[in-house]
Amino acid sequence: MKKVLISTLAAALAITLIFTSCGNGDDTPFTTVPSQSSSSDNSNTEAEAEETKSAYSVSDNLIALTFDDGPGTESSEKILRILAENNAHATFFIVGYNLDERPEIVKKAAEQGNEIGNHTKGHKNLSKSTDSEIREQINYVNDKVESLTGKRPVLLRAPGGNFQGVTDKVGMPLIQWDIDTNDWRHKDTSSGRTEEQRNSEINAIVEHVMTNVAPGDIILMHEIYNFSADVCEILIPKLAAAGYKMVTVSELFEAYGTKLEAGKVYRQAVSAETTTYSNTLKIEPGVYAVTTSSSSLNLRESADINSAVLIEVPKGESLTVTESVEGWAKTSYMGYTGWVSTKYLTPAA
């Protein structure tokens, strides 16, 4: 009986040694088999990783349409319809007082797969607000949207692009843009124009976007004007026909492998594999043309992206650069002297 027991134990030990050695190479340290709970945790981790994996890639020609100041009424409904018809999504940076008036529009936008961003409670200039005012302006919208849609906004667009001096106080990534349609300049309160003139303005905006758009771009529009909705009726199908996929800002940066961080400012998504024009360029004094993809270039108070904007220099204007540091050139325009990004300057012919 003892011999049988000893033989059985020996056989079991041999089998164990065989499976142990087969599971590990000579250079692989032996690890114990995970417990049932550990295995479950690993499965959950893998499932979560699969769920958070981007549905898009850089090769998909992704761009992000963004709409400020909503929700509106008829204009918002029309924009949502056009997006749905073209299998497109957008990010809506909403204002608290409009959210209170039209919560059903925000809920509908979210249900369609669009992203809801924060544009503050009262469209306040954050650079001129106290710390407590900033918190109130931002938290009000975040709380309301979360209560309404079940999802808390993760992106902020500062009203008027005014975030100078407060980037470390907002607690959210700041989303700017690199193509400005200037649709608000042609809003429906404009008087003294014919239908033909209005259509001409719409077509000019569409042409501007189609001429300058590129993968990774963030396009700025406004949700509350019928004029903007009419632009979308032409622009969105044209973008789709040109091969662009319109996604939310979060989807755009996720596809490009960029983790958006609180307090940082983002104007476009750029692939790490793509060689881009360096913004550390130091240039020689001389005359340069403004070649920004937007309609204008900001002349800033100092060589700092967070410094105040003195005036906007229209695309195509010529500027005389008197000195330069890395990424910035000193120049004057319309009586203002300040700094512009060298990224958008080309030596004049």
User: pLDDT tens digit string along 199-250?
Assistant: 999 999 999 999 989 999 999 999 999 999 999 999 999 999 999 999 999 9
The pLDDT-based confidence of 293 (bands split at 50, 70, 90) is low
Average of pLDDT values for 315-324?
A: 93
Q: Cα separation of 105 and 110, whole Å?
A: 9
Q: Which of 68, 69, 180, 230 is catalytic?
A: 68
Write the burial class of residue 40 (CB in 10 Å: 0-12 exposed, 13-18 middle, 19+ buried). Answer: exposed
- Contact status, residue 221 vs residue 235, Cβ threshold 8 Å: no
Could you tell me which residue, 304 or 104, shows the higher pLDDT? 104
pLDDT on residue 294: 64
pLDDT on residue 327: 86
pLDDT on residue 247: 98
pLDDT on residue 192: 79
Average of pLDDT values for 116-145?
A: 97
* Catalytic (active site) residue 68: yes
* Catalytic (active site) residue 69: no
pLDDT on residue 348: 84
Token pair, residue 55, equals 């549905």
The pLDDT-based confidence of 186 (bands split at 50, 70, 90) is confident
The pLDDT-based confidence of 93 (bands split at 50, 70, 90) is very high
The pLDDT-based confidence of 101 (bands split at 50, 70, 90) is very high
Q: Cα separation of 216 and 91, whole Å?
A: 14
Q: Which of 131, 222, 230, 304 is catalytic?
A: 222
pLDDT mean across residues, the chain: 83
Provide, rounded to the nearest whole percent, the portion of the chain with pLDDT above 90. Answer: 66
Buried b / exposed e over 152-188, threshold 16 CB at 10 Å, is: ebbbbbbbebbbbebbeebebbbbbbbbbbbbbebee
Which of 44-53, 74-83, 262-271, 287-296 has the weakest average pLDDT? 44-53
Q: Where are the alpha helices (DSSP H) in 151-214?
A: 195-212
pLDDT on residue 187: 81
pLDDT on residue 71: 98
Give 13-51 pLDDT, tens digit per residue: 443 333 333 333 322 222 222 333 333 343 343 333 334
pLDDT on residue 307: 76
Instruction: Respond yes or no on whether the N-terminal peptide bond of residue 71 is cis (omega within 30° of 0).
Output: yes
pLDDT on residue 155: 98
- Contact status, residue 69 vs residue 224, Cβ threshold 8 Å: yes
pLDDT on residue 83: 98
